[in-house]
Structure 1
Amino acid sequence: MLVPPPLSLYVHIPWCVQKCPYCDFNSHALKAEIPELDYIDALIEDLDTDLAAYRLTEDSRSLHSIFIGGGTPSLISPEEIGRLLKAIEVRIPFSENIEITMEANPGTIEAGRFTAYREVGVNRISIGIQSFQDEKLKRLGRIHGSDEATRAANLATDAGLNSFNIDLMHGLPDQSIDDALSDLKQAIALNPPHLSWYQLTIEPNTLFYSKPPTLPDDDDLWDIFEQGHQLLTEASYVQYEISGYSKPGLQCRHNLNYWRFGDYLGIGCGAHGKISFADGTITRTVKVKHPRGYLNPQKPYLDQETQVEDSERPFEFFMNRFRLLESCPKQDFVERTGLPLDAIQSSIDWALGENYLTDNGSEWQITKQGKLFLNDLLAAFVDEE
């Protein structure tokens, strides 16, 4: 029987000072002032529309986490972020220990800004640093320099937040192993509670895709990961997700809910949502992508709505769950997909035989072999009947 999981909220702010050449997110370079009053009004109306459409005002779930992403949310004033958070809390009760994260670009942060965001309810900041080397930052189209990156992390430390994250990339254009490890050492020295350390990938519909830069080869990438992982482990960071490291107990709760196949409303330009219902339905939503369309009062906020069919649920569940290094309780599969275990037993048996998984009776654990051949493992759950 499907049991509705914890509920989170994703809020998308679509504007950036400029578009980075590697970015395939729904972001738009600023050409004028942000219509922040109108946009916050639209976000609140968007939320009201979802709450009514999916009868979530009758739902007993409180809000587990909020993630304000982009784009560059720190382009929005603390006052308007505060107005949005108050409006959300009036409509959905916050859990006692709700995590409220906001992304920030070091190039948009002024002294005291983090403290102002904390005072209106944000208790976790994610800083998009990417590199501490000015030449690499320029290649990535970032608007900040290495000094601003360090300053932003120090401001976050001093702001009294519950936690903060540094986003750092490796596998950058013309990056040596020493360059990548130097970036990581500088990030570790700033002692962030959470560190997202991920490899640059070239995505379609980006400038890097049409004009590919020279990236490190596979051998160098493997050496960067192995040596970097050792540095992080020695600094007391625990890897809990493919690219997620944290000090013990300080994992990102919003990301954990996402990877555990939890539920999340998505409001804002192009935001995605997933909602489960006690009747066994799982609905995915996508909002209107472009700010002009989203802010047009004559158009609905919803762009797409699809149902996750029973045959799609095993793949979707494990595609998310196997990003995490933790074991997966079998009961989670039953409760979050609404399917019985025998619906996937043949695929599980095959995965056990390939040493992709282990089974202790109540939980599955992905193995090192399973991580190496993750695509093969996931393919076993496509179109299960």
Structure 2
Amino acid sequence: MTQDATTRPLILGAAGFSSEQPRAPLAELAPLSLYIHIPWCVRKCPYCDFNSHTASPVLPEQEYIDALLADLDQDLPHVYGRELSTIFFGGGTPSLFSANALGRLLRGVEQRIRFAPDIEITLEANPGTFEQEKFSAYRSLGINRLSIGIQSFQEAKLKALGRIHNGDEAVRAAGMARQAGFDNFNLDLMHGLPDQSQDDALSDLRQAIALAPTHLSWYQLTLEPNTVFWNQPPVLPEDDILWDIQEAGQTLLRENGYAQYEVSAYAQPGREARHNLNYWSFGDFIGIGAGAHGKLSHPDGRIIRTWKTRLPKDYLNPAKAFQAGEKLLPLDEMPFEFLMNALRLTKGVDAALFQRRTGLSVDSLASARLEAEQRGLLETDSSRLVATARGQLFLNDLLQHFLL
């Protein structure tokens, strides 16, 4: 049964819309994106700390699409008149859902919010879920970008990571994506894996480059709380090896036409992930689905962060609210929140963007900027906010300067 938005309770967070000192109105609203969370996977990986859950033999596709659209209906009053510049299906493994289900969802979204003419729509997928016919159908829906979770091409490494695919399936997935009509796709690849040598890591990277993706997310495995690896840590490479892998890999990517534009993101010219760029430039996004987060600006200067009910069974329960909470971002947290995102970009951002996104004068950063510049963490460029090479390496230290 379709769940009407008006039948679901709505919970406002404790911070709500509480009063504080007056805020400066925003001259413009940031670009708007939509994040859609599909929380099910074939199997939970031991390193994964995302909100993902092992799928049952039959997924509640229709019930979940009903809930997503009802969830979106409750967010609509905050975005009337705006258009969507990007959509991202994340998970979990969104490619477990059928093309029919995702098509119904996309039609429902477009009926509610206008799509930009050049909208970017990305779907996360794993090689173990690739079917040529299914992915051709995804492309016909208007999904125009894939992000494929490879992680490694080597059997021993894939087994250690708990992945359900093998190296050959990973290679075939890229070819099938292209055959399905995707001329823009990302490959996710990890390094610093258990017992991984520099040669192992560069072999994976060379194989990924040979598949000619337009974008590569290449990042180091980290042990996160509330994961199997956190409780049963594997033997990871020593710091010297990790450093050598990072330097050699970045050189290899650069030599093959992949420019680093963010801490772990590399792209061919003009192929940066627009959805992620919107996050990193402190843009706005609606988050729907179990555990999804959102961030919305309002003309009066308020910026509200929201988060949705985390467990799928609760999210699908009509007696429970979609929204688990919300927070009005305090003025004194704005600099840190903005720069935590913007300084991940290797070229930083135009300094004037700070005022456009937060309503605060860039002059309010002057003291902290000077301290960071003197420590060699921030470039001495009055027109931009950009970390130095050292600042990129010690980003947490850099950000501490902007905690007010």
| Class of the TM-score when normalised by the shorter of the 2 chains | over 0.9
What does residue 354 of structure 2 align with?
Answer: 333
Counterpart residue identity of residue 350, structure 1: E
Bigger CA drift: 104-113 or 236-245? 104-113
Match of 1:161 in 2: 182
Correspondence list, 1:212-231, <5 A: 212-231=233-252
Q: Which range is displaced more, 321-330 or 164-173? A: 321-330
Aligned pair partner of 2:96 in 71, 75, 78: 75
Pairwise mapping of residues 304-343 of structure 1 onto structure 2 (< 5 A)? 304-343=325-364
Q: How much has 1:31 moved relative to structure 2?
A: 2.8
Deviation, structure 1 residue 113:
2.1
User: What letter matches 1:188 in structure 2?
Assistant: I
Per the alignment, residue 21 of structure 1 pairs with: 46
Separation in structure 2 between the aligned mates of residue 36 and residue 373 of structure 1, nearest angstrom: 43
Name the stretch that deviates more: 322-331 or 139-148.
322-331
Q: Distance in 2 between matches of 1:323 and 1:362?
A: 17
Distance in 2 (CA, whole Å) between partners of 1:26 and 1:372 is 28
Which residue does 1:182 correspond to in 2? 203
Cα deviation, 1:8-65, whole Å, max 9, x if unaligned, reads 000000000110000000000013311001001110110011113x2x22x3x21010
The residue aligned with 2:61 is 36
Secondary structure at the counterpart of residue 80 of structure 1: helix
C-alpha displacement at 1:273, in angstroms? Answer: 0.2
Work out the CA distance in 2 between the residues paired with 1:365 and 1:289: 35
Displacement, 1:370?
1.5
What residue identity is the alignment partner of 1:51? Answer: L
Give deviations 1:102-136, integer Å, cap 9, x for gaps.
00011011122221100011100000010001111
| CA apart distance, 1:254 | 0.2
Q: Which residue in the other structure is 1:235 paired with? A: 256
Structure 2: distance between partners of 1:344 and 1:95: 34
Aligned positions of 1:49-68 closer than 5 A: 49-52=74-77, 54=78, 56-57=79-80, 59=81, 61-68=82-89
Gaps of 5+ in 2: 1-24
The one-letter amino acid of 1:66's match is I
**Please, which runs of 5 or more residues in structure 1 have no aligned partner?**
none
1:378 CA drift (Å): 0.3
CA distance in 2, matches of 1:113, 1:193: 22
Contact kept in structure 2, 1:15 and 1:30, CA below 8 Å: yes
> Once the two structures are aligned, what percentage of the paired residues are identical?
58
| Distance in 2, Cα, partners of 1:20 & 1:373 | 29
Q: Deviations over 1:75-123 (max 9, x none)?
A: 0001111111111111111111110000001101112222110001110
**Which of 97-106 and 346-355 deviates more?**
346-355
* 2:35 and 2:87 in contact (8 A); partners too: yes
Q: Which residue of 1 aligns with 2:163?
A: 142
Aligned to 1:344: 365
Aligned residues: 379
What letter matches 1:320 in structure 2? N
Matched, 1:298 2:298: no
Contact 2:342-2:348 within 8 A present in 1 as well: no
In structure 1, C-alpha distance between the alignment counterparts of 2:300 and 2:378, rounded to whole Å:
31
What TM-score does the superposition give when structure 2 sets the normalisation length?
Answer: 0.92
Deviations 1:266-293 (A, max 9, x none): 0000000000001010000000000110
CA shift for structure 1 position 365: 2.5
Pairing of 1:334-373 with structure 2 (within 5 A):
334-373=355-394
Deviations for 1:202-252, whole angstroms, at most 9, x for unmatched residues? 000000000000000110001111111111111111110110001000000
Check the 8 A contact 2:285/2:296 in 1, yes or no.
yes
Which deviates more from structure 2 when the two are superposed, residues 227-236 or residues 109-118? 109-118
Shift of 1:373: 2.4
Contact map agreement 1:238 1:246 (CA 8 A) in 2: yes
| 2:187 and 2:216 in contact (8 A); partners too | yes
1:126 aligns with 2:126: no
Structure 2: distance between partners of 1:203 and 1:360: 35
Contact kept? 1:22, 1:208, Cα under 8 Å:
yes
CA distance in 1, matches of 2:101, 2:393: 45
Q: Give the Cα–Cα distance (whole angstroms) in 2 for the partners of residues 12 and 164 of structure 1.
A: 19
One-letter code aligned to 2:359: G
Indicate the residue corresponding to 1:112 in structure 2. 133
Shift of 1:162: 4.1
Q: Distance in 1 between matches of 2:258 and 2:179?
A: 21
CA–CA separation in structure 1 for the residues paired with 2:42 and 2:362: 49
Is the contact made by 1:79 and 1:120 (CA closer than 8 Å) also made in structure 2?
A: no
